[in-house]
Structure 1
Amino acid sequence: MINSTQVLYFTLSAYFDTGLLKYLYFIITISLYIFIVGANVLLIVVICTNRSLHEPMYLFLCSLFVNELYGSTALFPLLLVQILSDIHTVSAPLCFVQVYCVHTYVGIEYINLAVMSYDRYLAICRPLQYHSLMTYNKIATLIAFTWLYPLLLALTMAYLRSSLQLCGVIINKVYCDSHSIVKLACYETKSIYIYSLIIMFCTLVIPLILIFFTYLKILKVCFNGSKQTRQKCVSTCTPHIASILNLTLGITFEVIQNRFQMNNVPNMFKIFLSVYFLTCPPIFNPLMYGLNLSKIRVTCVFASGRFARMNLSHLKACSMNSLEGSPSQ
């Protein structure tokens, strides 16, 4: 029996020998990570550098994209190292940091989506009062709350995990997660499970309840409103609803894996289910919002077109300079 602070490393046992295929998995994984970073950074830059996008909805989207970078970075760098490694161990401090980042990522994601649903409720249901209700001070407060609340709430959980007496160091996952570490405890962990339920209620259940009630109000306005109102609802709410369903599906996969034995399920499929909520939302959300919200799409197209014109002008200038500087025949 050892204290978790005395553990030097954990072994990630979900990895299996893939031979030369590990290089293919590495290429696929790093390609996904590069796409996630590129797509989210592009949209963050587009929103931050264009004053026309400095509106509440886009600022909350910017916060969402930053969180996608945060969550994917909590997984991919370690995952890439482990894919190429023959010894699948991770140092205890790094493991606990990953657990903290993964759990706060989920909390920030749900609260951010709840704040976005509240913003859509004000824009659709109370359009005349929208700008007086959604001021820049309120936006800053909501974004600060979105990040600080889950980060601070998870600190107590991190302290409780660090005080556990462990009877093993083997985690049956491809990354470190709280449930797997708590399962290694030598004694009953009722207090930790109770606090985990409290955190889940505060960061998952309450935001989902808020989202549910705001969308009830939005749907009521849509059904009673004009065709133009319904089109506005569909165009702005569809990506948001899809994001909520996608994240909730991934969390459901993770809960099922943690609570039920899945011995008959292929290893690769279990790995896919366990990383779904950390990989699919960061890929899905930039695509969904970038393609569906016309203001972002037009801005991205304009920016890329301007960049292409700048490159073309530069090439023409270089070619003219080279012609002027060449010796006459």
Structure 2
Amino acid sequence: MQARDYNISVLLRLESLDIPQTGILPTLIMAVVSYCFILTCNLTILLAIALDHNLHKPMYILLFNLSINDLMGATAFFPQLINSIHLQHRNISYPACVFQALTVHLYCAGALTILTVMAYDRYVAICRPLHYHTIMTPSTLIKMIVGIWVTDLVLVGTLFLLLTPFSLCQTFISDVYCNNPSIMKLICDNTTVNNFYGLSLSVFLQGVSSIAVVFTYIQILKTCLHNKQSNTKSKAIRTCATHLVVFTVFQVTTIFTIMSHRFSQVSPYLRRSVGSSFLIFPPILNPLIYGLSTKEIRGKVMFLFNRNKINFKK
């Protein structure tokens, strides 16, 4: 029997959530509410940007893609988690596990690349405002967005294609959700190539994104310090500070998650909590920080809400 055919029929078991009996219902409710909140906020951002032609600008189009990416990450994590809590079992088929892991990694790589391009967009807007419309043209923006998703699919897709020749010799996933490092632990054959590619991919994505963001924000800080208009300076610093905080937190949590699987000394409880945080908090915070706090999007959301409210009363 080929490795692929054997793996399809394997039933895996995820690590226990360790929820006491009295905490099952509150945890289930919290998970459902969190997922619904993520869906509502991100879909609201998508709808507001899609329906308002005035928001069809580079910054908002990039935010549109960030919301799509956040929805993908949350949907990779929450439905399976909710199902596990509700049915009180941690079983998952191998194809479903691989699909969840693939989606999670697409989300991670997508978030890094989108946040990096957003930093570049802010750099051009603040440091080279007179050339913004000649640099961030519609055709350039389309190339950037296509580049983001194609790069994401190719790099992450290759990571999981490397798994296809192997058979599993274990069935216990040492994490609360499926990811490439936890799947690799189920293989007893030589996976040197997989490990090298996976580590190289992480170093490349996080290294390039970190260097790009640090460079752009140094330039932005220099420009802000030389700007004599206090209102413009404070607005730019406030906008960039929130972006930098989100990016830094995402980087730290993802790096910790990747490295925690390579060191057995790391507490499994710490690995699970930090490893889940980058799938929970960014999809919740991003639409609030980038979207609903932005005057133009907030105004469009309120307009849509008030119009629907009036129609409902009629």
Deviation at 1:262, TM superposition (A): 5.8
Structure 1 segments of 4+ aligned residues over 6 angstroms from their partners: none
CA contact (8 A) 2:176 2:272 kept: yes
Matched, 1:298 2:299: yes
CA contact (8 A) 1:4 1:161 kept: no
- Find the counterpart in structure 1 of residue 237 from structure 2: 234
> Equivalents in 2 of 1:56, 1:190: separation in Å?
41
> Equivalents in 1 of 2:62, 2:267: separation in Å?
42
Deviation at 1:72, TM superposition (A): 0.6
Deviation at 1:4, TM superposition (A): 5.8
For residues 129-165 of structure 1, what are the alpha-carbon distances to aligned partners after superposition, in whole Å with 9 as ceiling and x for unaligned? 1101111111111111111111111222111112224
Query: What is the SS of the residue equivalent to 2:12?
Result: strand
Q: Any residues of structure 2 matched to 1:284-323 within 5 Å, and which?
A: 284-312=285-313, 314=314
CA contact (8 A) 2:106 2:153 kept: yes
Change (3 A) 1:15 1:3: farther
Q: Larger Rg: 1 or 2?
A: 1
Matched, 1:93 2:95: yes
Matched, 1:258 2:261: yes
Deviation at 1:264, TM superposition (A): 5.9
For residues 219-267 of structure 1, what are the alpha-carbon distances to aligned partners after superposition, in whole Å with 9 as ceiling and x for unaligned? 11111112233123124323311220231232144235323346766x4
Match of residue 180, structure 1, among 179, 182, 195: 182
Deviation at 1:26, TM superposition (A): 1.0
Deviation at 1:127, TM superposition (A): 0.7
Q: TM-score, normalised by structure 2?
A: 0.92
Deviation at 1:3, TM superposition (A): 3.5
Q: Any residues of structure 2 matched to 1:60-209 within 5 Å, and which?
A: 60-209=62-211
For structure 2, which runs of at least 5 residues remain unmatched after alignment? none
Query: What is the SS of the residue equivalent to 1:90?
Result: strand
> Equivalents in 1 of 2:271, 2:16: separation in Å?
9
Match of residue 210, structure 1, among 190, 209, 212: 212
Q: TM-score, normalised by structure 1?
A: 0.88
Moved more, 246-255 or 144-153: 246-255
CA contact (8 A) 1:179 1:258 kept: yes
CA contact (8 A) 2:221 2:237 kept: no
Deviation at 1:204, TM superposition (A): 2.0
> Equivalents in 1 of 2:167, 2:307: separation in Å?
59
CA contact (8 A) 1:168 1:184 kept: yes
CA contact (8 A) 1:235 1:293 kept: no
Deviation at 1:275, TM superposition (A): 0.8
Letter of the structure 1 residue corresponding to residue 241 of structure 2: T
Deviation at 1:176, TM superposition (A): 0.7
For residues 191-214 of structure 1, what are the alpha-carbon distances to aligned partners after superposition, in whole Å with 9 as ceiling and x for unaligned? 111111221133222122111111
CA contact (8 A) 1:3 1:165 kept: yes
Match of residue 57, structure 1, among 49, 59, 62: 59
- Find the counterpart in structure 2 of residue 249 from structure 1: 252
> Equivalents in 1 of 2:95, 2:20: separation in Å?
28
For residues 79-108 of structure 1, what are the alpha-carbon distances to aligned partners after superposition, in whole Å with 9 as ceiling and x for unaligned? 111112233110111111111111111001
For residues 10-41 of structure 1, what are the alpha-carbon distances to aligned partners after superposition, in whole Å with 9 as ceiling and x for unaligned? 11123336324222211110110000000000
In percent, how many aligned pairs have the same letter? 32
> Equivalents in 2 of 1:198, 1:19: separation in Å?
42
Query: What is the SS of the residue equivalent to 2:261?
Result: helix
Change (3 A) 1:133 1:256: same
> Equivalents in 2 of 1:17, 1:307: separation in Å?
41
Matched, 1:6 2:6: yes
> Equivalents in 1 of 2:253, 2:4: separation in Å?
29
